[in-house]
Structure formats: C-alpha cells, structure tokens
Structure 1
Amino acid sequence: MAFLQPRDADDLTEIVRSAASAGEKLELRGGGTKADFGAPRAATVVSVAALSGVIDYDPAELVLTLRPGTPLAEVEALLAAEGQMLAFEPWGAPGATIGGVIAAGVAGSRRITAGSARDHLLGFQAVSGRGESFVAGAKVVKNVTGYDLPKLMAGSWGRIGAMTELTLKALPAPRMTTTMVAEGLGPAAAHALMACALGSNADVSAAAHLARGLTLLRVAGFAPSVEARCASLPGIVSAHCTVRRVADDEAAGLWDEAMTGSGLAGETCWRVHLPPRHAPSLVARLEPLGIDWAMDWGGSRVWIAHAGSSLAVRQAAADLGGEATLVRADAAMRAAVPPFQPRAPGLAALEQRVRLAFDPKGVFATTRFAEDAHADLLPA
C-alpha cells in the first residue's frame, strides 16, 4: 500500500489532481486510529499529519482555526488553558487528530445536550476530488453564507473532500462537574430514570447506563448551581431510585466506558442509534447473543459487543427504528458487511449524487465503504 504525506495544502492539491487524472483511489488519514473501520482495501494512503498546527485562536470570540492534522490532545490542552472546551466532547485513541474526529463525526456523552461535531464546525477549506480548493462556512458563529456545507463535511469520512483548514466554535468549560450514580437498575428502569432526570430542571448534561447496573447522571456549571442541582436530584428521581455522588476519578472511567464502548467484551462491536425509548427492547432482544453493552445519550446510543459475526444487531436496530454501525470486527466480517446500515434506495442515490458533485471521478471512493465502491460509474 502506497503512502503519501503532503507537506502543505498545495502538495495535497497536487496529489488529488494527479490521482483524478490517473484514475487512482486515495484514502485520507489523520492519526490512523480508525484505519480498521470499514472493509479492508487497497488504496494509496494520504496522511495529513504534516498539516498540523493552530492558525488562529481568539478566546474572546470562542473561535479556533487550525489544520486537520493537529492532534486532538493538543487542541483540548490549548482550550483548557483558556478555560474553554469543544462542547461536543470529542474522543479518540492516542494519536487521534481533530480532522479525523470531525470527518468521523465523533461526539461524546455531552452530545445529547450540546450538539454534535457538525453543530460546532463553523467553516473549512478543502480540496475536492477534482483537485480544486474550495471554502465553506466562515470564521464567525453567526453565518448565512449560502449552503451549510460544514454539516455535510462532518461525518463524511473524507469522501467529499480533503480538509486543509477548519474553524470550530469553542465554549467556556464548566467550573464544576459532578456525577451522580444509581445502582442496580435494569435497562427499562434506567431509561425511565434518565428520561426523568434529563427532562427535569436539574439541567443534567449527560446520562448513561452500563450493563452492570450503574446509571450515570452528569451535572455541570458554576459550583453553587451544581451544588444546588445535585441536592435537588435525589428528590426529583426518588420515585425511580436513590442516587449518590462519585469521585471525579471514578466517574471519568465510567463515562469513558459509556461514551466509547471500548471496554466491552466481544470481538464484534456495533454502535446503534435509535429512539431512546427502544433501547431497553434492543438489549432484551439481543440478550440471547450473550452481549455486553452500554447506553449513552439517555439511551439514544447503545454499544453492543458480542462474539461471532451475527447480523442480528443490525436487524434489531432496523426493526426498532434505528441503525447499527459496525465499529469493530475481524477482517472477514468487515469485508462482507458494510459498516453503515444500508440506506433506502432513494436516499442512497441522493447521497451518491451529493458525493459525485464533489468527487466526480471517485478519487475518494475506495472499497472501504461498499456503497462507494463504484461511485465513479454513476451518471453525472
């Protein structure tokens, strides 16, 4: 597998232009932490690791512009030094880059109240599959400059363009964060508790539940407000259970488990998005597989891990109005099963035509995603 590492945006533009002319396929890569997502494939890897660094950061305006190869850890440290944060709570393995996080649409437990990655991407510069540079959005929070392409770029997995610069909205970090825990609840009772807490005036910013019976409620903000809301929560949820505070270091590990699904047992792992009221039914239907699982986003996201290569998770998700993404599996299963839930024909055709508008020759359409394998053959 060939490997290219452009030094700057001009290098990247020339690489894409040459690939388009030669009919070659390119796979964009940041830190490589998600290289095993999708089918095994043979494509020239283009690393954007050298396109790194902060271009502009104005803490007073809560706006940060930087290059896509900037490590996520460096971005978070820079913001933390100014008492700020990326509100959608991105996460990733060591080496993850901010460009990769945006391209994969990664968002943590706070997403349920703070929004997703696409809600905080204000603008970007990129190179299309034609080898042409283009700009979308703006370096301001309020922007009405035409089509909202940043929402299209976030979660695109590098299939519509190679970002060379991106601008993100930052927010003040909470002065205090506290986690309340309930113990011993089953999935249905945990969902009822999370719904009660999230809908209350306690302003709970995140809610999750682990298979071993731990339900997590996060309260964040100014210290006096957090103390008052934490004092009120036991009364608010008294009809469901009792809750207690946990230490910050213990809470961090619990939230990481709920947010990433990384600690679940089983060589096959799925990420399911569905209406939160159906999360308990999903777990109940899949229990015969011997699953390990965790709920996040109040039940809207459920991580499911199991042994073997059963597709029952995907079918159950579809039956309950959701979709299942194959996150981790052996190479044989990844080669046979598309990572994303198959779309309805009309929606699939629309998505393909959108990508075709940015990448008419299918430069970024590798066999990583089954639906893109022949994107360059679609009619214009």
Structure 2
Amino acid sequence: MKPETEVELAQIVAGLNGPVSIVGGGTRGAAGSAPALDMSRLSGIHLYEPGALTLVVAAGTSLAEVEAALDAEGQRLAFEPMDHRVLLGTRGAPTIGGVVAANVSGPRRVQTGACRDFLLGVRFVDGGGTVIKNGGRVMKNVTGYDLVKLMAGSWGTLGVLSEVSLKVLPKPECTQTLAIAVPDAERAVAAMSDALGSPFEVSGAAYDPERGQVFARVEGFADSVAYRANRLTERLTHWGDIERPEAQDIWSDIRDVQGFADGAGDVWRISCRPSDAPNLAQKIGADALLFDWGGGLIWALTREGSDLRARLGGFDGHATLVRSSQATRARLGMFHPQPAPLAGIQQALRKRFDPRGHFNPGLMG
C-alpha cells in the first residue's frame, strides 16, 4: 500500500480490514510485522515562504529534500533531527513525517525546543479514514484537543500524517565548541548546568565519558560567537582544561550517537532530570554512555537482552529501547510502561482516533 495523494490515503485507511505498520523511510526500526502502509510517495514541498519562516510539506518527503530547500535559503530545522541509520544499521531515507511522528530532536533541543515546538499545523487521516486538519501556518493557541502537539511523538498510533507545517529558523553564521576536561559524570553535569545557566546562549551541552570531555556550543553571528565563547571560557575554566576543537562533526556524532554504532549490545535512551543523571549512570553500569541535553538525556550501550528498566527502578523519567533483537523488544517493549492514569488516557485517545486498532498495534502498549 503506497498512497500518492491524501485522498488515496483516506480511501486505503477507510477500507482496512486489519492492522498496518505505518512506514516512512523505514530508518527507525520501529515497523512491526503487520503489512506496511508506505508513505514515501506522498511527498513534495507544498509551500515554502522563507520570509515568513514557514514550510508546508507532505509527510512522505525525505528529510534530505527538506534540508536542501532550507539550506538554499540559508535556513534550517531548528530542532536538529537525529539520523538513526548509522546507529541502527538501517537503510532508506528519513522522512519529515517520521521525524514529526517520533518527535525527533537533537542536541539543540536544550536551547530551542523539540520538534513539536516548531510544528504549526498537521493534516492526518484517522482510523476511520477521515481527513483531519489542526493548526495552521502561524503559532497560536487552540481550544479542545491540541492535535498538533498530540501527533508529535505519537508514532503513528493515532493517525497517519499526510502534511505538516513547520516554523524554520535562519542558519547561524558561525559556530564554536568548547571542550572541557572533566573526571566524572557528577562534575560533568555540574559543568553543563553552569554553561546552560550562563547568559551566553549555549545551544548544545553534552558529555562523552570515553573522551572525558564536556562539549558546549555557541552559535550565531561571528562577532557575537567570538565574544560569547571567550566569556564562556572564562566562566567554565575552573571545571577543567578547555580546548576549542576545530572538527565540525562533533555535534552530528553526538546527535546520531555514532560512537555506539559498532558496539555490540542494546542501545537505550534514558530521559531524566539532569540532577539525577550521575546516580542513574552508576546504576546503568553500561559498556558505554553518552550524555546530551545537559544531562537530561543519557544514551547507554548495554549487554544484549538486559532489562535496564528493572536495574534503574523507579525514577522521574523513562527508558526507551532503541536498538535490540526482536526477541528482546518483544519481551521488554520499546517504550517505558506508563503509570496507570497516563496509560488510561493513552488508551482512550487511541480508541477515539483509531477505534478499530489498525495503526501500529503493540508499538506503544
């Protein structure tokens, strides 16, 4: 099933008599065993107004096409979406609909916000085959369901995205990264908090224990970046020796967790309070760790088949199983189990938007 128009998509959904796995580029490894509803042909940029910082695009459009169009106008997606292909060993091309459906957001989220924060509007087809539109081309509050925010991160369990409207931002003229030598996670999180709490508009704060370095990024106009990087260096120098690496791929490596790509074992993504990160890191006891979002995100490479959630116990956050064997995913589930009240809300929403249970069954409980 490969619809080429929204009308065709609605007709296909209305005629479904069993479950489907909604697939964009197939790069995130989340597709189940149900027949695929392939969205890759529903593509194209419908509207792009650089002066208004607004982009309207079909959900099956490749991320590369979107980024190329923005780059030609000196603009970008502010939320820096991760490319999962190296980490997961997948092929294909990430789509903008997949990015929105999974709310994929990279290191810059710590400053600018997540994908959902730049989502202006959506069009999607619900489980009955009805086309629903919510939001528009400008930021505004809505009454009732905020379907724009609801669809971001729903992983296709509530509806099939056909079109998304996004706010975009200008690309920075200049970028500088500070690398601060630190001995442990506790000191690293404190250093990242110091950097993010400064007035110097840090747009990325990550820690690589293997390198023993905290990375802090500043972006913007060249003169402003030079000034802020110098002042930030003065502020952070007591945490450890500071270098300014010239390599421009540091942040893409962090964004895509490329250091884990060749490591054997399962990959987990732990969202938590930054203040909890050092203690959680000790409990994880992983073969490799990577901290992003100032410590609010921990990537962990663990022994194959190990139940990291049981090891962590209760904490204010969640652990998502990003890479594993099919057997481990079937046993542990990809997503952290929800508390009963939230699980009830989730199930009620799914019954409202997909009453026949056709979309990505079993993916989110």
TM-score normalised by length of structure 1: 0.90
Partner of 2:53: 62
Aligned amino acid, residue 83 of structure 1? G
1:184 positional shift: 4.3
Aligned to 1:375: none
**Match among 24, 37, 47 for residue 30 of structure 2:** 37
Name the SS for the 1:355 alignment partner. helix
Partner of 2:88: none
Match of 1:374 in 2: none
- 2:188, 2:207 within 8 Å by CA — same for their partners in 1? yes
- In structure 2, the residue corresponding to 1:37 is in which secondary structure? coil
Question: Match of 2:173?
Answer: 175
Does residue 237 of structure 2 align to residue 246 of structure 1? no
| Mapped partners of 1:258, 1:319: distance in 2 | 27
Q: Distance in 1 between matches of 2:141 and 2:70?
A: 23
Q: 1:202 is paired with a residue of what secondary structure?
A: coil
Query: SS of the counterpart of 2:11?
Result: helix
Q: Is the 8 A contact 1:234 1:242 kept in 2?
A: no
TM-superposed deviation, 1:352: 0.7
Asked whether the 8 Å contact 1:274–1:317 carries over to 2, the reply is no
| Residues 64, 165 of structure 1: alpha-carbon distance in 2 compared, 3 angstrom cutoff | same
Q: Deviations over 1:23-54 (max 9, x none)?
A: x11111100101x337xx43110111111110
Amino acid at match of 1:10: V
Q: How many residues align?
A: 355
Residue of structure 2 in register with 1:377 after alignment: none
Query: What CA RMSD, in Å, does the superposition of the two structures yield over aligned residues?
Result: 1.5
Task: Tell me the residue number matched to 2:133.
Answer: 135
> Residues 316 and 158 from structure 1, CA distance in 2 versus in 1: closer, same or farther, beyond 3 angstroms?
same
1:357 equivalent to 2:352? Answer: yes
Superposition deviation, residue 81 in structure 1: 1.2
Which residue, 283, 289, 293 being the options, matches 1:293?
289
Query: 1:248-283 CA deviation, whole Å, 9 max, x = no partner?
Result: xx241x323322324222320100000001111111
Distance 1:44-1:69 versus aligned 2 partners, 3 A rule: same
**What is the CA–CA distance in structure 2 between the aligned matches of 1:147 and 1:344, rounded to whole Å?**
22
Is the Cα–Cα contact under 8 Å of residues 207 and 218 in structure 1 kept in the other structure? Answer: yes
Shift of 1:205: 1.1
Query: Distance in 2 between the 1:182 and 1:104 partners?
Result: 32
Q: Percent identity?
A: 39
Task: Kindly indicate whether the alpha-carbon contact (under 8 Å) linking 2:40 and 2:60 is maintained by their aligned counterparts in 1.
Answer: yes
Segments of structure 1 that go 5 or more residues without pairing to the other structure are: 372-380
Please identify, of 264-273 and 324-333, the stretch whose mean Cα deviation from structure 2 is larger.
Answer: 264-273
Cα distance in 1 for residues equivalent to 2:257 and 2:314: 22
Residues 209 and 258 in structure 1, CA contact (< 8 A), matched pair in contact too? no
Instruction: Give the aligned partner of residue 5 of structure 1.
Output: 2
1:314 matched to 2:331: no
CA distance in 2, matches of 1:85, 1:170: 6
